[in-house]
Structure 1
Amino acid sequence: MKLIKRSIFAALVPLVFAMSSGSALAHGDVKCTTEPKEKWRPHTELEAKLTKEGWQIRRMEKTTSCYEVYAKDPKGKRVEAFFNPVTFERVEE
């Protein structure tokens, strides 16, 4: 019985890692801007703008060219959205 449990565990571990890394790589090609970071507006400014528009921000991250926002949009839908850090325009994947 222990051998079966180990085999199942050994098969599941790589599968879990593959699934979790897939979502992280899914948006690796999103390009928001080529402007240098010195020209980026503060992410707190984007957060305030989105909150005023009815977004409920859970988390924000900086990528190499975007602000990545995990939130509920004004319609209550959970989203992962990308914004140009200079113009704050939403960028589609």
Structure 2
Amino acid sequence: MRKILTLGCLLGGLALADAAAAHGNIACEVPRAERRPMVELQKELKKQGWTVRKLQMMNGCYEVYGYDANGNRVEAFFHPKTFERLREN
């Protein structure tokens, strides 16, 4: 039983490490007090014609899943202080 539990924990850890590696070296180190609210980014993207399906924090950056103004599906990263677009997968 102990071996099965250890193996399960090891495999779970590898799965999490693989998911983190999928986003490469994207990381934003911005103090919480300096971050602009996610809802501001969502409103700004909506003005640009985007449809935001999901918005979350990933490695300190804002990660957006949705559709751009041309209807293309996107996964994009934004700096939480400047809203500068960092990378798209």
Interval of TM-score (by shorter of Structure 1 and Structure 2): 0.7 to 0.9
Larger strand fraction of residues: 2
Q: Which residue of 1 aligns with 2:23?
A: 27
**Aligned partner (choices 21, 34, 48) of residue 39 of structure 1:** 34
User: Identity rate of aligned residues, in percent?
Assistant: 47
* Consecutive unaligned residues in structure 2, runs of 5 or more: 1-14
**Alpha-carbon shift at residue 92 of structure 1 (Å):** 1.9
Query: How many residue pairs align between the two structures?
Result: 76
**Which residue, 27, 41, 50 being the options, matches 2:45?**
50
Q: Please give the TM-score of this superposition, normalised by the length of structure 2.
A: 0.72
Question: Do the aligned partners of residues 67 and 55 (structure 1) sit closer, same or farther apart at CA in structure 2, a change above 3 Å counting?
Answer: same
Matched, 1:88 2:73: no
| Aligned match for 1:59, one of 50, 54, 57 | 54
Task: Kindly report structure 1 stretches of 4+ aligned residues shifted beyond 6 Å.
Answer: none
In 1: Cα distance, 2:59 partner to 2:20 partner = 14
TM-score (norm 1): 0.69
Q: Counterparts of 1:57 and 1:28 in 2: how far apart (Å)?
A: 22
Partners of 2:33 and 2:62 in 1: CA distance: 14
Alpha carbons 2:61, 2:78 under 8 Å: kept: yes
Contact 2:65-2:76 within 8 A present in 1 as well: yes
RMSD: 2.4
